[in-house]
Chains A and B, each alone.
Chain A
């Protein structure tokens, strides 16, 4: 008997060893650490949302290495345009990353013109290419065949100083052809041009943040000292993008700002929703890494989501339309997937692309199961399909039990279905006090409705019994007295 037990134990041990070997400890295949911030603003490890798939360099395409590439843009039809600034050319790829053509220049007034250190580009729905030709102080607009439509040079206007330079860096175009240009040294805001290249005006200005210490110091100093002080001017925008509704997303690199991302409505006001637990500004806590994030590019992904590219830690932060941080990927380094000097980011299908000037290549990131699920759930929530989103949120929670947004998403769906009591627990896990309060209010009212009747019945019955008892006691006492008096 003891021998069989022993034999079984040995067998069990052997099998368990085999099983341990069968499932290797899964190391993250990403060369960077993914994380997300929890309610207490701690960076908590998270599954990777995007993984690097491959990189594309100029020699992979057989056209010679890129040199200081400046911008990348994906046209609505899926073609990928890379602005190879150092080589003054435009490289066009199809959606499978195969080379389509290279644009070296264009014909203007019968002579061949070329670019000079162009900084930004945008491709609209009709495959018209807008290029911010920084070195030549102009914006070039080409049609789908590469023929010149028109150029925009320094606008003549009362509100622009005559000696000012016009050096466009980044640009975007809305559906009716209005052009939004971020130019170097322009603090007044984003320059807006109409579809014929006429200057309209500025939209959205970064406010100067007044520091009270500085203010007092200025009051105390003499005129000569004041003349030597730094002038406080608003910061410039670093990049622009536009969403399907015509709202302009803009980033600036003001290190002190808590609102480096702006969503500008047509009258230039910032209407970005910031309902998350912390500021929409990339990294919110810097213990091991230096300083705030320096956001240099923004890309609208659709369904209210947008990604921003941080040049301090070389990471991509993605937010949903309410300002919740969805996921973070990327990092500094030399492996495939980490970045040296990122300059621009884009989306092509479900891939995300980051252009790396330091390594002269384009990095292609692919969503993981986690990333794809989050994207899908956020999209469903944005479209109002909260009940359908619940299954996907539950899937997300299996992959990352620390994902607050998933708890809140499930809670909101339960609230919609009037399952108030169940929703309470989810809101508490997601630390959403506002929704918790709504759910609790309804739950409390339900409890009252359900139990107030019973409670009141019991109370009235009790009072009735008490009165009866008192009357009975009185009646008996009187009877007793009467009897003693011999009345009966």
Chain B
């Protein structure tokens, strides 16, 4: 239990190349861990906006909305997984959807591990020390990007160049999915309006 759910994720963020391979070949990834990482990231984002120290917190407290916070993390996350699966399936990637999901979820762990203490520490910082706060936030972000990159490379068994290309393509496909979604949504809405208008005409003509 402890081995798979706590020790392995912590081992993974420091030794990503071999650990991602274990995740794929030995089936050591756990969906629960990936989902918890996503949930905890969302919680950390909300906590940071609400509780980070006054000197680093430039958020208007009246504008914090938990639903929007959830959407801004969760929607791109699932979009990434879907788009990446779509792209890599066409480009001879070896990863299954489950593995893509696991790799993406596990790569969020450093964000959680760095954000949590930084929220507390930022409350005891003065202006000159806030540089460290921003430094550590950037480290968290770049660590996440690095893990995501290695994860994708290992899961799909790609070369470096091909990983970069597929990641860029994934971002483009994410945009296309959003566009198509908006298109379908707007068409459905117009279809509904059309039907509703016909219904109204019929009602008022009788």
Contact = CB atoms under 8 A, between A and B. Distances in A.
Interface of B: 54-55, 60, 124, 126-128
A420 to B, nearest CB: 12
B60 A440 contact: no
Is chain A's binding surface mostly helix, strand, loop or mixed? helix
Is chain B's binding surface mostly helix, strand, loop or mixed? loop
B55 A436 contact: yes
Contacts of B55: 433, 436-437, 440
B88 to A, nearest CB: 40
Given A434-B127, A436-B55, A438-B126, 12 more contacts: A40-B60, A428-B54, A433-B54, A433-B55, A433-B127, A437-B55, A437-B127, A437-B128, A440-B126, A441-B126, A444-B124, A444-B126
Interface string A269-308: 0000000000000000000000000000000000000000
Nearest to B123: A440
The 3 A-B residue pairs whose C-beta atoms are closest, nearest first, are A437-B127, A441-B126, A437-B126
15 contacts: A40-B60, A433-B54, A433-B127, A434-B127, A436-B54, A436-B55, A437-B55, A437-B126, A437-B127, A438-B126, A440-B55, A440-B126, A441-B126, A444-B124, A444-B126
A40 B124 CA distance: 25
Interface in A399-415: none
A428 B54 CA distance: 7
A445 B175 CA distance: 51
Interface in A405-435: 428, 433-434
A157 B60 CA distance: 57
A434 B54 CA distance: 11
Interface of A: 40, 428, 433-434, 436-438, 440-441, 444
Nearest to B56: A433
Contacts of A437: 55, 126-128
Contacts of B124: 444
A440 B54 CA distance: 11
Nearest to A431: B54
Contacts of A441: 126
Nearest to A439: B126
A444 B53 CA distance: 14
B125 to A, nearest CB: 8
Q: Which of A434, A436, A437, A444 has the most CB of B within 10 A?
A: A437
A213 B139 CA distance: 36
Nearest to B58: A433
A436 B60 CA distance: 17
B130 to A, nearest CB: 9
Nearest to B130: A437
A399 B54 CA distance: 27
Contacts of A40: 60
Nearest to A441: B126
A193 to B, nearest CB: 47
A447 to B, nearest CB: 10
A438 B54 CA distance: 13
Contacts of A436: 54-55
Nearest to A433: B55
B75 to A, nearest CB: 27
A434 B60 CA distance: 18
B91 to A, nearest CB: 39
A444 B127 CA distance: 13
B184 to A, nearest CB: 34
Contacts of A434: 127
Contacts of A433: 54-55, 127
A434 B126 CA distance: 9
A437 B126 CA distance: 5
A434 B128 CA distance: 10
Nearest to A42: B60
A409 B55 CA distance: 19
Contacts of B126: 437-438, 440-441, 444
A441 B60 CA distance: 24
Q: Which of B54, B60, B128 has the most CB of A within 10 A?
A: B54
A444 B55 CA distance: 14
Nearest to B54: A428
Contacts of A428: 54
Nearest to A428: B54
A438 B126 CA distance: 7
A40 B55 CA distance: 16
A460 B185 CA distance: 68
A436 B128 CA distance: 12
A441 B130 CA distance: 13
Contacts of B54: 428, 433, 436
Contacts of A438: 126
Contacts of B60: 40
Contacts of B128: 437
B86 to A, nearest CB: 38
Nearest to B60: A40
Contacts of B127: 433-434, 437
Contacts of A444: 124, 126
A191 B110 CA distance: 63
A437 B122 CA distance: 12
A433 B60 CA distance: 14
A59 B55 CA distance: 59
Q: Which of A434, A438, A440, A444 has the most CB of B within 10 A?
A: A440
Nearest to B127: A437
Nearest to B53: A440
A442 to B, nearest CB: 9
A441 B126 CA distance: 6
A440 B129 CA distance: 12
A437 B128 CA distance: 9
A136 B69 CA distance: 67
Contacts of A440: 55, 126
A403 to B, nearest CB: 19
Nearest to B124: A444
A21 B124 CA distance: 52
B2 to A, nearest CB: 29
Q: Which of B60, B124, B126 has the most CB of A within 10 A?
A: B126
A118 B55 CA distance: 54
A233 B55 CA distance: 42
A428 to B, nearest CB: 6
A436 B57 CA distance: 13
B135 to A, nearest CB: 18
